[in-house]
Amino acid sequence: MANNRVMVAGVEVSLDHWIGGRRVASVNRFANASPIDGSDLGAVAAGGQAEADMAVAAARAAFPAWAALGAAGRLPILRRFASGIMTRAAEIAAVETADNGSLLAGNLHRMVPRAAQNISFFAEWALGLNDHAIDHPEVVNNVRYDPSGVAVLITPWNAPFMLTTWKVGPALAAGNTVVIKPPEWAPLSCSLLADIAHAAGLPPGVLNVVQGIGEEAGDALVNHPDLARISFTGSTDTAKIIGQAAARSITPMSAELGGKSPFIVCADADLDAAAQTVAGQYINAGQVCLAGTRIMVEASIEAAFLEKVRDAVDQMTVGDPRDPATRVGPLIHPDHFARVAGFVERAKAGGAQLLWGGERAVAGALYFQPTMFAGADRDDEINQKEVFGPVLTWQTFVDDAEAIAIANGTEYGLAGTLFCGDEGRAMRIAEQVVAGTLWVNCFFVRDLAAPFGGSRMSGIGREGGTHSFDFYCNIKNIAVRKGSFAAKGV
């Protein structure tokens, strides 16, 4: 058994894969550094075809017994899994922060509890899946949600632990077995997830983790012929590559992708609340796919609202994410920093007006100032492409028709935020904005029962409640002719 373990933020973490209930090393390894200060977090096992084959084989072997347990049989194991996450919440939060630079307080108080809920919620929801019957004059339609097989789950680096459980929860509750491909820029919290799953009593092979570079480990997994499902969260460009692999074997795929979401502020809105929420778009250094990055303000309140936003942003302290006072931490990786900085420099060169920020916040480090551009054309790159950093744009509109036109003027359709004081007006605007989720007078409130996903280039499919099981299950209808069975005597 491999034993390549390191101490990260005071927590022992394995750097090896988790396959078939044991740790598996690889000859090849890749470096992993903390975005906080560049410190070395260890050489992580880099999987490829051999590890992908091993993991899928282990998941296939474990599938029949796990599926046969039924939802009620899986429930106590998944409850222990969720409980184990909460028991180790402080450790998970510390490792996640060290690995991807996200705020420690946010991980401890929001992300890790939500991860535990992702497991327990779907385990409970699965209990009622097969209770659905549809009556017909001739037959009774008995709708069943059957396990589908092995699911490959590919997760992003901005919130790897929580977003992995968002997939793992319904996949396991449905009776599937899973192979997780963590992000190479932040793989460590998924390694902890494997330890917690094992301690909770998940049978060997039910949950597997294959680490590695996307072009190697990820490619081997999504092209494997023995998959039942592929679920991916990440960039639109990567999704196109995975989609081609899925199409070759007709493997169902879900994809939650990027966004360039509008944040619409009407003149009659609660401007103080709206301004604070705009400033909140810089959280996690803007590395949030749902962020409302295009601020759209009714022209009559532009000057007054801009000052409110400026005041709110002035309170957004940039610094070490382990400090409770910090609101904006580092970008994830030097390559990503260069990408964000490139967007900013091109916007400057193109004539966009820099309202604030626009520079590295800490010399030699991965911290970038909260940034706002105004005056860019609607079709300019800075208004069209996902930056995935602390960079927002400022636009104005004169009426609802213009607001809707600007909001829908990109290739994306993941989310949107609207602050408005009139319910009728708010609903008219919301109904016409192309988005999978539209928040009105709030932001980032996600009910696990509600559908979540993107439109256009922002994704395929929906997750949440029964919508998740619609994807992870083989849905069967057993249509029984009424009166075709003789009634049994007493």
Active-site residues, by number, are: 256, 289
Burial zone of 39 (CB within 10 Å; 0-12 exposed, 13-18 middle, 19+ buried): exposed
Q: Which of 297, 252, 273, 489 is nearest to 394 (CA)?
A: 297
Neighbouring CB atoms inside 10 A of 324's CB total 10
CB-CB neighbours of 346 under 10 Å: 14
Length of the chain in terms of residues written: 490
Instruction: Count other Cβ atoms within 10 Å, centred on residue 65.
Output: 13
Axis-axis angle for helices 112-125, 160-173 (nearest 10)? 10
The CA distance from 157 to 425, in Å, is: 37
Rounded Cα distance between 333 and 447, Å, is 31
DSSP β-bridge partners for residue 294: 262, 393
Q: Helices marked H in 107-264 — which ranges?
A: 112-125, 160-173, 188-200, 219-222, 236-248
List all residues 6 or more positions away from 318 whose beta carbon is below 8 Å from its beta carbon.
Answer: 326, 327, 328, 329, 361, 362, 367, 369, 370
Q: Could you tell me which residues are beta bridge partners of residue 254?
A: 231
Cα maximum dimension of the chain: 86
DSSP β-bridge partners for residue 422: none
The b-or-e profile of 261-297 (16+ CB within 10 A means b, else e) is: bbbbbbbebebeebbbbbbbbbbbbbbbbbbbbbbbb
**CA 447 to CA 451: how far, in whole Å?**
8
User: In Å, what is the CA distance from 459 to each residue of 158, 253, 289, 454?
Assistant: 17, 10, 12, 4
Which among 98, 44, 103 is positioned nearest to 287, based on CA atoms?
103
The Cα–Cα gap between 128 and 130 comes to 6
The pairing of strands 261-265 and 415-419 is: parallel
- Are 17 and 26 in contact, with CB atoms under 8 Å apart? yes
Q: Kindly report the CA angle at 308 between 307 and 309, in degrees rounded to 5?
A: 90
Residue 138 DSSP code? S
